Amino acid sequence: VTLVGLSDDQEFFRQTTERFLAELVPPDTIRALRGDPAGFDPSYWRRGAELGWTSLLVDEERGGGTISGQGLVDLRLVAYEFGHHAAPGPLAVTNVVAAALGQQPTADEVLAALLSGEAVASWCMPVVTPDGWRPTVTAAGEGSGLVLHGTSRHVESAAQAGHLLVTCQDGDGTTQVLVPTSAPGLTITPMQTVELTRRFFVVDFDGVRVDSGATVGVRGGSADDVERQLQQYLVVLNAESVGAMQAGFDMTVEWAFDRYTFGRPLASYQALKHRFADMLSWLEGSHAISALSCAAAQQGRPDAPELVSAAKAYIGQYGAALLQDCVQLHGGIGVTFEHDLHLFLRRVTVDRALGGTPAVHRQRIAVLLDEQEGAAA
Amino acid sequence: VSVLRAEDDDGTLEDLDSFRHRARAYIRANLRPMAAEEMRWDRFGGSEELELAAIARDRELQRQLFDAGFAGLCFPREYGGQGLTPAHQRVFNEEIAGYEYPSRVQCPTLVPCAAVILEFGTEEQKRQHLPAILRGEELWMQFLSEPSGGSDVAGALTTAVRDGDQWVLNGSKVWTTGAWWSDWGLCLARTNWDVPKHRGLTVFMLPIHQSGIEVHRIEMLNGSREFCQEFITDVVVPDSDRVGDVDDGWTVGTRWMFHERMLFSSPYLTNPVGTTHGRMHSRDVYDIACAQGRTDDPSMRDLVGEARMLELVSNEVAKHVTESIRTGRLSDQAAAIVRLFKGTATARIMDLAYEAAGADGAAWTGDGASSQGAINWIMRAGGTVGGGTIEMARNVIAERVLSMPRERTLDRDVPFRDVPRGRPSGS
């Protein structure tokens, strides 16, 4: 049993993705993708989309569909396997955009291309802060359309995306627009990263004009949408990290049995056994809070923001600690490119930093607690 | 109070819905609504009078439940129980939530002591003690740990020597909660020093208040005096009060510790739904931030958020591990993961509260939130030692969950007499 609480259908779905990733993106393939501009092969992504990777947050009547009726829970399983294989592809952002477009009567063609895997999309997301989040792009009305200014950083696969969902500050409100990456005034600059297969970009909006049909959701009234998108995004990141933690941990346990020093396996030293025990407790804590926060977000529970932040803070902190311990327990081989362990270290390193660091989410939890108490008082 | 039979004359069990209605009606008509906080063990502020009054009230409540047919739901009817199923106990746990219940009769009297007597006691022992326990007349304690070693239970030094039809016990037991107001002790003692340690133990039952037993209350670092130590001197126990076979005490002891580990999921325990065991104090950190007017301070928010985060994860990890054991994802020894997690999380939360308290961690006025910072921190190891140290939990996880090689021991396959028990003299 890999994950608990899955139905037979969900387990079959998870296994299908697991086998697919093991076959198509083994560690050597991932290492070889280091120099690839996109970081993933389009046909790999299309085939993944056929398995349902991008459909889970979209209703059936819009061309999507879930395994269990709980799309985010199903997506968590894909994300877990992505982390477990350090798999390429903009899973989180493409799903967030697909989910947003699925709520929208227009932009059918863009949505259809995301669902079929013909295209990927990305999200120019707000910066997560202790008080919630803050867009870094502004929208202002001009004629019947909008003009965008500002800069969005760490935008995953922006150069590979046909469209970007941009969360904008619009006066006192929040507006989201769908912008083609070919729009005049929009420039995309690559960033550097420790990830081998994921690509991040700075997207500048210098007076980018979009017409009113580009608005996703209600102009000036999209704050709740953004909150939901953030939860979806963080659930995927967290599940990926848990998958990477499990892979790194299992690999290190094996190593502890195989590696002999002073005539004994590493696994026989109490000083190291106790570290494995600690790591397993962090790993199980991460599994537990990842699943719980996902279920809360899926159900739209009022405590979902708190639980998702708790998961991001916990998994971010202990996922990074666990992988660094795995490297330490491997010794010198753990810091070589030829070994596979660093693929998982890279995944948790990046996922920890995106969407708010553990410190930001800890403070977020405190603010939510304070708001809750204020409301109760 | 009308006593309804839980079982019809033809032997069919009362169905759960009918039981629920009967339990609900009884509870609402006869028990006081009461918050869990009011039933906490540590709320007596050192007053023996208040503590004894609470014990007396619990005995009374237990008797009331017994008379109404709600005591010992899963104990057999011939021993004063109701002969019902764990599902009935779960229903009862749901219905009694939010009401006063005899919390001090539950552990260790019902679980593990009564559970052990039910499993290993003679017919006579079961008839003598189980109905008395279920009527609230006998409160039991575990005479298990000894001053010579906490984690190494099977290394017990308390000795029982046979003398015809009786045994003479000498030694000392420790960490018994409230032995000074309890009636009986279930005692693990060494009966054979010439065989390996697990094969020379025997279990006895003995009344606590007798001339050969001196009960000493231990003062803890936070001022609590809930724990006791007993000094046992030439205490005579009839052979009829022996539980299980001579020298086979570890068979009993293994199940004894199983029942103890099961505690909150045991069908013999009334454990109202929503009861939290082992406070994590995460709320203290927020209360301190409020008391200091620093809820907007980012560094304070970091402490508050981390404490809350740890409590949220900690609460879920127990459910997750239980489900993992049930599905075979983790070995049945994985409960040690929960123990380790809660121990380290609790300790960390105390660190956070102590940090948040600032200089009030050194000296404070009144009994406001900040006062908890230092008091709890001084007693921080309570959560990482009590109930089995986290070091033992780490060994169990490494060896029994991850199957790593066992630590070398020097007490296996040698007569217990020859096992080193202290620093050799002269070195």
Residues 6+ apart with CB under 8 A from A372: none
Rg (CA), chain A: 21
- A362/B312 CB distance under 8 A: no
Residues 6+ apart with CB under 8 A from A366: A130, B286, B289, B295, B300, B301, B302, B304, B305, B308
- B316/A292 CB distance under 8 A: yes
> Best of A369, A370, A372 to disrupt the B interface by mutation (most B CBs within 10 Å)?
A369
* CA of B325 vs chain A CAs: smallest distance (Å): 10
Residues 6+ apart with CB under 8 A from B50: B44
Residues A215, A174: Cα–Cα separation, whole Å = 11
* CA of A122 vs chain B CAs: smallest distance (Å): 30
* CA of B231 vs chain A CAs: smallest distance (Å): 35
Residues A94, A155: Cα–Cα separation, whole Å = 11
Residues 6+ apart with CB under 8 A from B414: B196
- A366/B312 CB distance under 8 A: no
First to last CA, chain B: 70
Query: Is the CB of residue A13 less than 8 Å from the CB of residue A75?
Result: no
Query: Is the CB of residue B1 less than 8 Å from the CB of residue B30?
Result: yes
pLDDT at A276: 98
Query: Is the CB of residue A190 less than 8 Å from the CB of residue A199?
Result: yes
Residues A236, A93: Cα–Cα separation, whole Å = 9
| Residues of A (220-249) whose Cβ lies below 8 Å from B | none
- A366/B308 CB distance under 8 A: yes
* CA of B298 vs chain A CAs: smallest distance (Å): 7
Burial group, residue A238, by CB count within 10 angstroms (0-12, 13-18, 19+): buried
Give B366's strand partners: none
> Best of A251, A254, A281 to disrupt the B interface by mutation (most B CBs within 10 Å)?
A281
Site of tokens 């009829």: B240
String of DSSP letters for B223-289:
S---EEEEEEEEEEEEGGGEESSTTBHHHHHHHHHHHHHHGGG-TTS---TT---S---HHHHHHHH
Residue in B286, B328, B394 closest to A273 by CB: B394
- The alpha-helical segments, DSSP class H, found in chain A are 8-24, 27-32, 42-51, 71-84, 91-102, 108-116, 223-258, 270-298, 304-330, 341-353, 358-376
pLDDT at B11: 62
CA neighbor of A174 nearest in space, from A225, A102, A210: A225
> Best of A3, A357, A362, A373 to disrupt the B interface by mutation (most B CBs within 10 Å)?
A362
Q: Quick: pLDDT tens for B68-126.
A: 999 999 999 999 999 999 999 999 999 999 999 999 999 999 999 999 999 999 999 99
| Residues of A (327-366) whose Cβ lies below 8 Å from B | 359, 361-366
Residues 6+ apart with CB under 8 A from B133: B72, B105, B109, B110, B113, B114, B140
SS3 content of chain B, % helix, strand, coil (to 5): 50, 15, 35
- B327/A4 CB distance under 8 A: yes
Give A221's strand partners: A174
Q: What angle do CA A85, A87, A91 make, to 5 degrees?
A: 130
- A281/B309 CB distance under 8 A: no
pTM for the model: 0.92
Contact with chain B for residue A291, Cβ under 8 A: yes
Query: Is the CB of residue A14 less than 8 Å from the CB of residue A81?
Result: yes
Query: Is the CB of residue B128 less than 8 Å from the CB of residue B119?
Result: no
- B395/A291 CB distance under 8 A: no
Closest residue in chain B to residue A304, using alpha carbons only: B312
Burial group, residue A185, by CB count within 10 angstroms (0-12, 13-18, 19+): middle
* pLDDT tens, residue order, chain A (377 aa): 889 999 999 999 999 999 999 999 999 999 999 999 999 999 999 999 999 999 999 999 999 999 999 999 999 999 999 999 999 999 999 999 999 999 988 778 999 999 999 999 999 999 999 999 999 999 999 999 999 999 999 999 999 999 999 999 999 999 999 999 999 999 999 999 999 999 999 999 999 999 999 999 999 999 999 999 999 999 999 999 999 999 999 999 999 999 999 999 999 999 999 999 999 999 999 999 999 999 999 999 999 999 999 999 999 999 999 999 999 999 999 999 999 999 999 999 999 999 999 999 999 999 999 999 888 77
Q: Which helix (H) or strand (E) holds B353?
A: helix B335-357
* CA of A331 vs chain B CAs: smallest distance (Å): 19
Query: Is the CB of residue B190 less than 8 Å from the CB of residue B160?
Result: yes
Q: What angle do CA B27, B32, B36 make, to 5 degrees?
A: 100
Token pair for residue A108?
Answer: 């059918």
Residues A133, A136: Cα–Cα separation, whole Å = 10
- A172 in the Ramachandran plot: left (φ > 0), alpha (ψ -120 to 50) or beta? alpha
First to last CA, chain A: 45
* pLDDT tens, residue order, chain B (427 aa): 334 445 555 567 899 999 999 999 999 999 999 876 666 655 666 788 999 999 999 999 999 999 999 999 999 999 999 999 999 999 999 999 999 999 999 999 999 999 999 999 999 999 999 999 999 999 999 999 999 988 889 999 999 999 999 999 999 999 998 899 999 999 999 999 999 999 999 999 999 999 999 999 999 998 888 899 999 999 999 999 999 999 999 999 999 988 887 777 889 999 998 776 666 778 899 999 999 999 999 999 999 999 999 999 999 998 899 899 989 999 989 989 999 999 999 999 999 999 999 999 999 998 888 888 888 899 999 999 988 899 999 999 999 999 999 999 889 899 999 999 889 887 6
* CA of B296 vs chain A CAs: smallest distance (Å): 8
Site of tokens 């949220």: B312
Q: What is the DSSP letter of B99?
A: B
Q: Is the peptide bond before A135 cis (omega within 30 degrees of 0)?
A: no
Q: Which amino acid is at A38?
A: A
Residue in A5, A253, A273 closest to B323 by CB: A5
Query: Is the CB of residue B206 less than 8 Å from the CB of residue B138?
Result: no
Residues A205, A146: Cα–Cα separation, whole Å = 12
CB atoms within 10 A of CB B123: 9
Token pair for residue B241?
Answer: 């009060």
Query: Is the CB of residue A366 less than 8 Å from the CB of residue B302?
Result: yes
Q: Which ipTM did the prediction report?
A: 0.96
Q: What is the DSSP letter of A335?
A: G
CA neighbor of A141 nearest in space, from A220, A246, A248: A220
Q: Which amino acid is at A291?
A: A
Burial group, residue A145, by CB count within 10 angstroms (0-12, 13-18, 19+): middle
Give B230's strand partners: B173, B215
pLDDT at B40: 62
Q: Which of helix, strand or coil describes residue B413?
A: coil
Residue in B298, B309, B328 closest to A310 by CB: B309
Contact with chain B for residue A270, Cβ under 8 A: yes
Q: Using a CB-CB distance cutoff of 8 angstroms, which residues of chain A are in contact with residue B290?
A: 373
pLDDT at B45: 67
Query: Is the CB of residue B230 less than 8 Å from the CB of residue B212?
Result: no
